[in-house]
Amino acid sequence: MCANPVEKIIRFLPPLPREFYNRDPREVSTDLLGKILVRRTGRKLLAARIVEVEAYLGENDPAAHSAVGRTPRNAVMFGPPGFAYVYFIYGNHYCLNVSCLPEGTAGAILLRAAEPLLGIEIMAKAREVAIDTTGGLRNLTSGPGRLAEAFGITRSRDNGKDFTDQKSGLFIVDDGYSALEIVTTARIGITKAAELPLRYLIAGNPFVSGAARLKSGNPG
């Protein structure tokens, strides 16, 4: 085992610290691109490089779940920075966020897409549906619902987990990779404040969700 050199590196990297998340969601968003989301359950290790996120600014952001004020559902976003906010959407999917800003101030980053690095077999098994029908690996984690499913994220298991605590088994690490070019666009799937450029992605990365089509010359 451990034939994968990437695994040796990732296994010993520490979680990003609390201060990393204790900032404006827009700053955290740009810095999260290129970082690695890690999920540890027992001996199993999942890892994927984050290539697309969205910032949700808090009570003054009409598109954010926190816009309605604190409720049992969104309470994590009003707590301290660096905790998992997981919600269930459209009767089908979970989505994974990280809380930002100090306790009492809402804010979060939605993790929308990533490039699988470790545990690809496990991710494929968790996704199960239609792995080979369209995009191969791209099908695993390109989109917030897919990413959550590939990582086995559910609200009951993961909502409120501490991203800075290694024992939570869910955290983000920095392997020194830096995103070459960051593009901002409007956020996806919202109706309010839909014009704000709060979606961040790595330019040209094939694992970005949605209209990240490859240019003409797209091979077979």
Partner DNA sequence: AAGCGGATCGTCT
Partner DNA sequence: GACGATCCGCTTG
Residues engaged in binding DNA (CB under 7 A): 54, 56, 63-66, 68, 71-74, 77, 85, 87-93, 95, 97, 108, 110, 127, 129-130, 133, 139, 143-147, 155, 187-191, 209, 211, 213, 218
Minimum distance from residue 150 beta carbon to DNA (Å): 10
Minimum distance from residue 5 beta carbon to DNA (Å): 30
Q: Which is nearer to DNA, 36 or 198 (CB)?
A: 198
Q: Which is nearer to DNA, 6 or 68 (CB)?
A: 68
Please work out, in degrees rounded to the nearest 5, the angle formed at the alpha carbon of residue 205 by the alpha carbons of 202 and 206.
150
Query: H or E stretch including 34?
Result: none
Asked if 102 and 22 count as a contact pair (C-beta separation under 8 A), the reply is yes
Minimum distance from residue 53 beta carbon to DNA (Å): 9
192 class by beta-carbon count within 10 Å (0-12 exposed, 13-18 middle, 19+ buried): exposed
Question: Backbone phi, then psi, for 45, in 5-degree steps?
Answer: -130, 120
**How many C-alpha atoms does 7 have within 13 Å on its Cβ side?**
12
Beta bridge partners of 208: none
CB atoms inside a 10 Å sphere around CB 133: 8
Q: Which is nearer to DNA, 12 or 90 (CB)?
A: 90
Minimum distance from residue 35 beta carbon to DNA (Å): 17
Beta bridge partners of 95: 87
Q: Which is nearer to DNA, 87 or 171 (CB)?
A: 87
Q: Which is nearer to DNA, 10 or 84 (CB)?
A: 84
Minimum distance from residue 67 beta carbon to DNA (Å): 8
